């Protein structure tokens, strides 16, 4: 049976390009979006490129959608090889403009950000672990960001020092902690868990001034999704290089 990869937030941007690249490598890709229409559209585009793709509705914050997804995967495949927790939001400021939202960010924005960027990946991953444990090379990639690095935010000479987006940055710091904890919990299994920093990429989230293309942005995600048996687990990576937590 072909290997099965599930990508959240895959109707456009990094998620769609990741599905495209994994599909080209021979994976069956499950592309998810908040609506069935959008997920079907994404799958249809991939099929025109001879990629085995299926669209599934998944609002990552919706427990019913998660339950339906798990049932579908159980019935259709009986396993899952790759989980890419890609869906995310940045609600502090438009783009990644310099500034500090700490004094002004609302509790509503904080809660919305953590719901999508932190709580949802944990809820989804926990429900999918039984299927991932049936894979002979399970891989979990949490799409994080260099903006979650505490070390770099404490370093006045770092390139991200002036971008203090409290909701977004702290949600990615928390996601990195999840990566570390889950990697430790699964250390005696065949599953590897890592955080990926794609880079500052030209997407709806990254904005028009981002220096990296989407094609370059997915390289780290794809690499971590296809690690061999000797690959590392519990790391924070950008283009093959470790980033400081």
- Reported as a single tens digit per residue, the pLDDT across 115-143 is 999 999 999 999 999 999 999 999 999 99
Tracing tokens 């290089």 back to the chain, one arrives at: 241
Whether 99 maps to a domain, the answer reads no
Q: Would residue 59 count as lying in a domain?
A: yes
Domain tally, the chain: 1
**Within a domain: residue 100?**
no
> 75: domain range?
4-90+113-149+168-242
Q: Rounded CA gap, 62 and 83, in Å?
A: 17
pLDDT at 97: 81
Is residue 105 in a domain? Answer: no
Distance CA(81)–CA(159), nearest Å, equals 35
CB 6 within 8 A of CB 84: yes
196 lies in a domain?
yes
Judge contact between 193 and 232, C-beta under 8 A: no
Is 162 a member of any domain? no
Q: How far is CA 173 from CA 149, 195, 221, in A?
A: 6, 10, 18
The list of the chain residues with pLDDT below 70 reads: 201-212
Residue 127 lies in a domain: yes
Burial class (CB in 10 A: 0-12, 13-18, 19+), 174: middle
pLDDT of residue 28: 98
Residues with catalytic roles: 168, 172
How many other CB atoms are there within 10 angstroms of residue 19's CB atom?
A: 29
Question: What pTM was estimated for this model as a whole?
Answer: 0.95
Please report the pLDDT score of residue 175 as a whole number. 98
The answer to whether 192 and 231 have CB atoms below 8 angstroms apart is yes
Q: Which of 111, 167, 118 is nearest to 142 (CA)?
A: 118
Residue 69 forms part of a structural domain: yes
139: CATH? 3.40.50.720
Q: Which letter does DSSP use for residue 241 in this model?
A: E
């Amino acid at each position: 049976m072909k290997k099965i990869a599930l990508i959240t937030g895959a109707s456009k941007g990094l998620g769609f390009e990741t599905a495209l690249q994994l599909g080209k490598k021979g994976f069956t890709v499950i592309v998810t979006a908040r609506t069935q229409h959008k997920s079907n559209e994404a799958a249809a585009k991939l099929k025109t490129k001879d990629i085995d793709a299926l669209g599934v509705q998944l609002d990552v914050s919706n427990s019913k959608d998660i339950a339906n997804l798990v049932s579908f995967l159980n019935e259709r495949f009986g396993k899952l090889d790759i989980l890419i927790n890609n869906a995310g939001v940045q609600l502090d400021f438009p783009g990644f403009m310099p500034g500090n939202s700490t004094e002004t960010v609302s509790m509503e924005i904080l809660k919305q950000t953590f719901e999508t960027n932190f709580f949802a990946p944990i809820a989804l991953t926990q429900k999918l672990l039984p299927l991932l444990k049936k894979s002979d090379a399970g891989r979990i990639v949490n799409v994080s960001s260099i903006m979650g690095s505490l070390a770099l935010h404490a370093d006045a000479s770092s390139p991200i020092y002036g971008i203090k987006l409290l909701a977004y940055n702290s949600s990615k710091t928390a996601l990195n902690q999840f990566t570390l904890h889950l990697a430790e919990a699964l250390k005696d299994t065949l599953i590897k868990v890592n955080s990926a920093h794609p880079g500052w990429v030209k997407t709806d989230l990254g904005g028009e001034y981002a220096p990296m293309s989407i094609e370059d942005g997915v390289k780290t995600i794809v690499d971590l999704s296809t690690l061999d048996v000797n690959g590392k687990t519990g790391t924070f990576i950008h283009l093959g290089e470790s980033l400081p937590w």
